A and B are shown apart, each in its own frame.
Chain A
């Protein structure tokens, strides 16, 4: 069965559901929730169609579709979508996590349910769009539009300091993305002002039809890099993340950690590396250092957090640093490890935020010191939490291990020092996660208020089950995932290797006697 315009369908179905919700009166809360859930589940099922019909041997774009969007004398902007091995699983991750986010808000969100669901669905459209867009302007539009629902999710349904967190979030990300817009426009005119087609520009850059001087390449690379580094977030740009995470409602945190952060690393893989390989190679040592700092710093700061949610938030800084390290190792293992680690981090951190949200719903506190010995009263919850914790620290047999090993192997090939430091930091990861687990779940039940806690119910079990299944699946048999990524990542790596080699530079050209102007002078 072949569905025409399947990507448009997956992208816009949530938005269509949101539009329908707009016309349902506020008081039908149950109907609103059910419809939102239904919309996101249908989207997920549709997106599974992509995996079945995806051709793993083909590293290029698949399911491509293009239609004219804005047509003027000067601009041809297309509605151009397509996915390859890099974006395939990120799309699935998005459609997979959104229904879970809706389900986890079933009881947690009691105020303004309708706009909440509309925001979540609009967010899903934006995120899927970012991963599918192949036109630079279209990409930018999705990238920016997605900020608005996220801003409201944090701002309206967030915690105590939600206004501060929401404003910080939007200012940080806007600053980066607007500079990226300048770079996009520059690239457009450098390419002769003909098209915003990412594939075409990439093609022309790699074939040498479009040549950027070293300085141009550097600044363009930097403009894209900053936009993505803020999203990841890489070390000096990370300060918005703990605030946003801590204040966001559970669903917001899940989406933020699960998908939004991946948009940064996805951008690095899709734009920075293939478009500006020379600049990427030149900058790699510095970026790797920042990534290492992020890994160690994130881990150390996590260790001393008294707040569960903040701990998980800082652990994201550490884990995403690892992903960046893998990308800038420029090896096949590193790239593969990073891509699968994006999935893993989405699953494990998403699950951690869900679990923390569940505790918070029951106890209205997230302070580690308020807990202790929870395993006695909530055995099911405690065991699920343990699995997720182990997945997060990369225990063999669970998903985290696959990504970490590949990244470490990949970066070790590039630099033994980086590889070693990154490997050591894994120990730190185990320290803060296990220590946290010990303080919350093990030991005696110290706080009498916790004695009456109820264990997780059916809805919550159903919510966590799919994530646990995926964790084990990727951990035990990751080949189906890696196989689909491989071809596309090899193209990226090929591009880097080409740039590393003795590329034909313009020095050769100026000495060429076929250029008459040079000799006449």
Chain B
């Protein structure tokens, strides 16, 4: 290992070291002061992001015997993961105090999960991709069940673990098939072999199919989505927020790299499969979301639907599409984090008040929270002057550019359906009168307020002036080719 290698994996090292430090510090921290451990989980991503900033470069650097790749694509995604992790830690402090689950391990697991996601985005070897997924998954299994005394949290964790294990097993099976067909797990080697041979071994094709199933689980594509609603509902709300954005973005990062960098010769095959998955995912996600009365479940189905929209950017297999995917993941992250932040601030002790009825009359009782949630939902629905519109605009335009008109028509009709359930929350907040027994919302803590405030500004900013982030997304996605 050279110093250069060390420099390039420094962000991950910082995360892991901070995580281990947290585990060590946990027993020595008195019960009332455990919340302070969260500071480490906020500072470590900040420090890692600082180190990461020196890594932007048009050059593609492979390090650690070709296991890891450091390019603009991986730097872009690592930035996103670090922000997600820091924000989640920040949101969790007051929440964990309220739910009496304040422990150092929580933050350590968040940091480990983040390093797993970073590995997924930067991996240049199927084995390392698998390791990244496992590091991420095991951390999130535990996080989902962090409210040990809560049955729903346990259910969430167990379901996630069982179904997730199946998914990773299938993924591993796929890797084995690909190894069988190509005698390598290295991205570069597999790609060259495919290009050289011109044809693809059947075993490789089967392997790719199994990989798609595995990733389908991770990013929640229909028909591999069934774990999502229960897991999202039962997990502590900050963890739900994390799961909705972090692992999903990481899954798409790894998927993009594999599809575009390893199997460019099979673009026609995977594009067709993804076309079908995209339509299923969007349609089922949106239609079932209409039926939900629990807002966490509704956001879970909305997250499924959005995975479908993101596929619309991958299917055309074009630079414009990939950069649209990167841009969309940024805005998707922001709007979901805002929505979940408001939800967790209103859920009150026990994390129970997450039904639509609990939101009745919120517009006058908590105007700031209601306005922020409305904006996040308007953005999720893709109405102009919000980042969500710009994101969809670029996704759809990339698909139309390559002639996928039918796909886009289905996507926009889905958007119409989504307007119904997003706007219904606003109906409750602004139009319905609160029921008789409705409790007053508790004041939301300043960390949540700060996150929501910044998120609102970003949503509007990206809706009005998206040039800079779009350019960054375009620049980062170029590294894929």
Spell out A's residues near B (CB within 8 Å): 70-75, 112, 137, 140-141, 144-145, 147-148, 151-152, 155-156, 162-163, 166-167, 170-171, 174-175, 178-179, 181-182, 185-186, 188-189, 193
B416 engages A171 (CB within 8 Å)? yes
A141 engages B384 (CB within 8 Å)? yes
- B467 is an interface residue with CB less than 8 A from chain A: yes
B385 engages A170 (CB within 8 Å)? no
Out of B397, B405, B466, B474, name the residue touching A73 (CB < 8 Å): B474
Out of A75, A144, A156, A179, name the residue touching B383 (CB < 8 Å): A144
| Chain A residues near B24 (CB-CB < 8 A) | none
B276 to chain A, nearest CB (A): 20
B413 engages A175 (CB within 8 Å)? yes
Tell me whether A185 and B397 are in contact in the complex, defined as CB-CB below 8 angstroms, given that A70-B467, A156-B431, A170-B423 are known contacts. Answer: yes
A74 to chain B, nearest CB (A): 6
| Chain A residues near B431 (CB-CB < 8 A) | 155-156, 162-163, 166
B471 engages A72 (CB within 8 Å)? yes
Tell me whether A145 and B384 are in contact in the complex, defined as CB-CB below 8 angstroms, given that A72-B471, A182-B408, A182-B412 are known contacts. Answer: yes
B427 engages A163 (CB within 8 Å)? yes
| Chain A residues near B420 (CB-CB < 8 A) | 167, 171
B189 to chain A, nearest CB (A): 33
- B320 is an interface residue with CB less than 8 A from chain A: yes
B378 engages A148 (CB within 8 Å)? yes
Taken residue by residue from 115 to 135, chain B's Cβ proximity to chain A (1 for < 8 Å, 0 otherwise) reads as 000000000000000000000
- B451 is an interface residue with CB less than 8 A from chain A: no
Out of B378, B413, B432, B466, name the residue touching A178 (CB < 8 Å): B413
- B401 is an interface residue with CB less than 8 A from chain A: yes
A182 engages B405 (CB within 8 Å)? yes
- B333 is an interface residue with CB less than 8 A from chain A: no
B383 engages A178 (CB within 8 Å)? no
Out of B383, B400, B416, name the residue touching A182 (CB < 8 Å): B400
| Chain A residues near B474 (CB-CB < 8 A) | 72-74
A179 engages B412 (CB within 8 Å)? yes
Tell me whether A174 and B396 are in contact in the complex, defined as CB-CB below 8 angstroms, given that A140-B384, A145-B384 are known contacts. Answer: no
A182 engages B396 (CB within 8 Å)? yes
B384 engages A174 (CB within 8 Å)? no
A2 to chain B, nearest CB (A): 29
Taken residue by residue from 388 to 408, chain B's Cβ proximity to chain A (1 for < 8 Å, 0 otherwise) reads as 010001001100110001001
Out of B320, B415, B424, name the residue touching A174 (CB < 8 Å): B415
CA distance A163 to B383 in the complex (A): 20
Selected A-B contacts with CB under 8 Å, 30 pairs = A70-B465, A70-B466, A70-B470, A71-B467, A112-B364, A137-B393, A144-B384, A145-B383, A145-B384, A147-B383, A148-B383, A155-B426, A155-B431, A156-B430, A163-B427, A163-B432, A166-B427, A167-B420, A167-B423, A167-B424, A171-B416, A178-B416, A179-B412, A181-B393, A182-B396, A185-B397, A185-B400, A189-B400, A189-B401, A193-B401
Spell out B's residues near A (CB within 8 Å): 320, 364, 378, 383-385, 389, 393, 396-397, 400-401, 405, 408-409, 412-413, 415-416, 419-420, 423-424, 426-427, 430-432, 465-467, 470-471, 474
| Chain B residues near A72 (CB-CB < 8 A) | 467, 470-471, 474
| Chain B residues near A152 (CB-CB < 8 A) | 430
B412 engages A181 (CB within 8 Å)? yes
B120 to chain A, nearest CB (A): 28
| Chain B residues near A112 (CB-CB < 8 A) | 364
A158 to chain B, nearest CB (A): 9
B427 to chain A, nearest CB (A): 5
Closest 5 CB pairs of A and B: A178-B412, A141-B384, A185-B400, A175-B416, A144-B384
A186 engages B405 (CB within 8 Å)? yes
CA distance A112 to B471 in the complex (A): 42
| Chain B residues near A156 (CB-CB < 8 A) | 430-431
CA distance A159 to B393 in the complex (A): 35
CA distance A140 to B419 in the complex (A): 17
| Chain A residues near B384 (CB-CB < 8 A) | 140-141, 144-145
Tell me whether A182 and B466 are in contact in the complex, defined as CB-CB below 8 angstroms, given that A145-B385, A171-B416, A171-B419 are known contacts. Answer: no
CA distance A185 to B397 in the complex (A): 6
| Chain A residues near B430 (CB-CB < 8 A) | 152, 155-156
CA distance A73 to B471 in the complex (A): 8
Tell me whether A181 and B385 are in contact in the complex, defined as CB-CB below 8 angstroms, given that A152-B430, A167-B423 are known contacts. Answer: no
Out of A144, A147, A185, name the residue touching B396 (CB < 8 Å): A185
Q: Taking A141-B389, A156-B430, A162-B431 as given, write out 13 further A-B residue pairs in contact, using a Cβ cutoff of 8 Å, ordered by the A residue number.
A: A70-B467, A73-B474, A74-B320, A145-B383, A155-B430, A155-B431, A166-B427, A175-B416, A179-B409, A181-B393, A185-B396, A185-B400, A186-B405
Q: Closest residue of chain A to B417, judged by CB?
A: A171
CA distance A74 to B402 in the complex (A): 14
| Chain A residues near B415 (CB-CB < 8 A) | 174, 178
A193 to chain B, nearest CB (A): 7
CA distance A155 to B416 in the complex (A): 18
CA distance A32 to B219 in the complex (A): 48
B419 engages A181 (CB within 8 Å)? no
| Chain B residues near A179 (CB-CB < 8 A) | 409, 412
B72 to chain A, nearest CB (A): 15
| Chain A residues near B419 (CB-CB < 8 A) | 170-171, 174
B330 to chain A, nearest CB (A): 14
| Chain B residues near A174 (CB-CB < 8 A) | 415-416, 419
CA distance A342 to B313 in the complex (A): 41
B71 to chain A, nearest CB (A): 19
| Chain B residues near A170 (CB-CB < 8 A) | 419, 423
A188 engages B385 (CB within 8 Å)? no
Q: Closest residue of chain B to A141, judged by CB?
A: B384
Tell me whether A151 and B409 are in contact in the complex, defined as CB-CB below 8 angstroms, given that A74-B320, A145-B383, A174-B415 are known contacts. Answer: no
CA distance A75 to B409 in the complex (A): 21
| Chain A residues near B424 (CB-CB < 8 A) | 167
| Chain B residues near A71 (CB-CB < 8 A) | 467
| Chain B residues near A186 (CB-CB < 8 A) | 400, 405
Tell me whether A188 and B427 are in contact in the complex, defined as CB-CB below 8 angstroms, given that A144-B384, A178-B415, A182-B412 are known contacts. Answer: no
| Chain B residues near A175 (CB-CB < 8 A) | 413, 416
| Chain A residues near B432 (CB-CB < 8 A) | 163
A141 engages B385 (CB within 8 Å)? yes
| Chain A residues near B400 (CB-CB < 8 A) | 182, 185-186, 189
A181 engages B396 (CB within 8 Å)? yes
B373 to chain A, nearest CB (A): 14
Q: Closest residue of chain A to B409, judged by CB?
A: A182
Q: Closest residue of chain B to A193, judged by CB?
A: B401
Q: Closest residue of chain B to A154, judged by CB?
A: B431
CA distance A30 to B471 in the complex (A): 47
A73, A148, A179, A182 — most chain B CB neighbours (10 Å): A182
A401 to chain B, nearest CB (A): 40
Q: Closest residue of chain A to B465, judged by CB?
A: A70
CA distance A158 to B423 in the complex (A): 16
| Chain A residues near B409 (CB-CB < 8 A) | 179, 182
Q: Closest residue of chain A to B420, judged by CB?
A: A171
CA distance A95 to B424 in the complex (A): 31
| Chain B residues near A171 (CB-CB < 8 A) | 416, 419-420
A339 to chain B, nearest CB (A): 27
A155 engages B427 (CB within 8 Å)? yes
B411 to chain A, nearest CB (A): 9
A178 to chain B, nearest CB (A): 4
CA distance A141 to B385 in the complex (A): 7
| Chain B residues near A74 (CB-CB < 8 A) | 320, 397, 474
B395 to chain A, nearest CB (A): 11
| Chain B residues near A185 (CB-CB < 8 A) | 396-397, 400, 408
A141 to chain B, nearest CB (A): 4
Q: Closest residue of chain B to A112, judged by CB?
A: B364
B160 to chain A, nearest CB (A): 34
CA distance A188 to B399 in the complex (A): 13
A68 to chain B, nearest CB (A): 9
Q: Closest residue of chain B to A178, judged by CB?
A: B412
| Chain A residues near B408 (CB-CB < 8 A) | 182, 185
CA distance A178 to B411 in the complex (A): 10
